[in-house]
């Protein structure tokens, strides 16, 4: 058995990573109760206690508007905490997989972003996650960084759940029509993370469900799958959305490296969405 520590284990992705652990992994699920990772001693103590051979670092401050309003918290939880986790990995001689984001990109490229494209974050969230990437790369030459996008799934606040919740109490919704990305189902990403760890891969790998769409297209697909197509949906530009944050409009991630590593691409986003909406129906 390989000892694996998972940070952010109470979060949407971290929980799924723990739940889908393969037979070869013995998982230590770390939550905030085990320590604040932005405090160096707490991060070191929590990770040392696991004696991990692999660390999957899912913990982050993921509220994008929250990061804009509170940059100190964003920096502490995304940059400093990641540096602390990387230092702890070095002390343990553990392999580190850090989960990062499309928000490291500006979102102006016409084609999908590849792993070696130059990052240029627009947001505090993106800047703080990029600082995390750089800390990991500086401390651990054999690091693995998985960038993903538009995560949704059980047990977390996410766009799809918010749309379906809003549709049950309102007859009319406004959704942004000029942001494009690859919606990614957390359980699919969790499985891909384990498959990646089974390879010798290092560096940056983009992992998303296949295909891209706009926020509006994703909302309409979710409503259709949930049998709520009678809701009126108005597409609006992101500039009209009430938010303190200017988001990347076209930060679609290309996943060519995954195939180069010999790994199957994830299924198309719409197939995963169908499964999620069905799962939600069963739990309501
Ligand atoms: N959600 C997305 O759309 C998306 C897209 C691309 C990439 N990602 C990346 O994917 C990863 C997982 O995202 P997610 O949506 O599953 O996150 P999440 O549900 O927000 O969970 C993150 C977890 O990290 C914990 N955490 C935050 N700061 C911490 C600290 N200083 N010390 C200890 N624990 C801390 C949080 O605990 P508290 O709740 O107590 O703060 C929470 O349980 C993150 O690295 C994120 O940047 C997410």
Containing domain of residue 149, as a range? 2-157+184-211+251-267
Task: Find the DSSP H helices in 184-251.
Answer: 186-197, 215-225
Partners of residue 7 on adjacent β-strands: 57
Residue 147 in domain = yes
**125 Cα: distance to centroid of ligand 1 (angstroms):** 11
Cβ–ligand 1 distance for 60 under 6 Å, the answer: yes
Residue 230 in domain = no
**232 Cα: distance to centroid of ligand 1 (angstroms):** 32
For residue 131, give every residue at least 6 positions away whose Cβ sits within 8 Å of its Cβ, in sequence order, or none: 75, 78, 79, 82
The pLDDT value recorded for residue 283 is: 57
Dihedral sign (CA 165, 170, 172, 176) = negative
Token readout for 159 is 């766009």
CATH of the domain at 193: 3.40.50.720
CB 213 within 8 A of CB 174: no
> Which 8-state DSSP code applies to residue 235?
E
The catalytic residues are 125
Count: domains in the chain: 1
CB 143 within 8 A of CB 98: yes
The pLDDT value recorded for residue 141 is: 95
Residue 231 in domain = no
54-57: strand order across its sheet: 25-29, 2-7, 54-57, 95-101, 144-148, 203-206
Residue 118 in domain = yes
Residue 66 in domain = yes
202 three-class SS: coil
CB 238 within 8 A of CB 194: no
Residue 95 in domain = yes
The pLDDT value recorded for residue 155 is: 87
**143 Cα: distance to centroid of ligand 1 (angstroms):** 19
The pLDDT value recorded for residue 281 is: 73
CA distance 202 to 95: 10
Neighbours of 142 (CB within 10 A): 11
Cβ–ligand 1 distance for 182 under 6 Å, the answer: no
Residue 282 in domain = no
Partners of residue 97 on adjacent β-strands: 56, 144
Query: Measured from the CA of 157, which atom of ligand 1 is nearest?
Result: 19
Q: What is the C-alpha radius of gyration for the chain, rounded to an integer number of angstroms?
A: 18
**10 Cα: distance to centroid of ligand 1 (angstroms):** 9
Query: Measured from the CA of 37, which atom of ligand 1 is nearest?
Result: 32
The pLDDT value recorded for residue 280 is: 84
Residues of the chain falling short of pLDDT 70:
282-284
Residue 229 in domain = no
Cβ–ligand 1 distance for 94 under 6 Å, the answer: no
Query: Measured from the CA of 156, which atom of ligand 1 is nearest?
Result: 19
């Amino acid at each position: 058995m390989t000892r694996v520590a998972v940070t952010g284990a109470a979060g949407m992705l971290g929980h799924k990573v723990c739940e889908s652990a393969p037979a070869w992994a013995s998982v230590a699920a770390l939550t905030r109760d085990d320590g604040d990772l932005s405090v160096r001693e707490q991060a070191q103590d929590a990770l040392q206690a696991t004696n991990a051979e692999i660390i999957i670092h899912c913990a982050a401050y993921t509220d994008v508007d929250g990061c804009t309003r509170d940059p100190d918290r964003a920096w502490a939880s995304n940059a400093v905490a990641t540096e602390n986790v990387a230092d702890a990995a070095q002390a343990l001689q553990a392999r580190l997989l850090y989960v990062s984001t499309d928000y490291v990109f500006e979102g102006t490229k016409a084609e999908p972003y590849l792993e070696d494209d130059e990052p240029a974050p627009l947001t505090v969230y993106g800047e703080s996650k990029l600082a995390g990437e750089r800390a990991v790369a500086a401390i651990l030459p054999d690091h693995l960084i998985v960038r993903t996008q538009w995560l949704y799934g059980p047990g977390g606040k996410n766009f799809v759940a918010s749309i379906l919740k809003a549709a049950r109490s309102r007859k009319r919704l406004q959704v942004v029509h000029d942001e494009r990305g690859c919606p990614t189902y957390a359980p699919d990403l969790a499985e891909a993370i384990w498959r990646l760890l089974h390879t010798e891969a290092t560096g940056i790998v983009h992992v998303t469900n296949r295909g891209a769409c706009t926020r509006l297209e994703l909302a309409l697909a979710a409503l259709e799958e949930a049998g709520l197509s009678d809701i009126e949906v108005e597409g609006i530009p992101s500039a009209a959305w009430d938010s303190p944050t200017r988001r990347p409009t076209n930060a679609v991630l290309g996943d060519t490296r995954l195939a180069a590593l010999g790994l199957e691409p994830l299924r198309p986003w719409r197939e995963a969405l169908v499964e999620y909406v069905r799962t939600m129906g069963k739990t309501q």
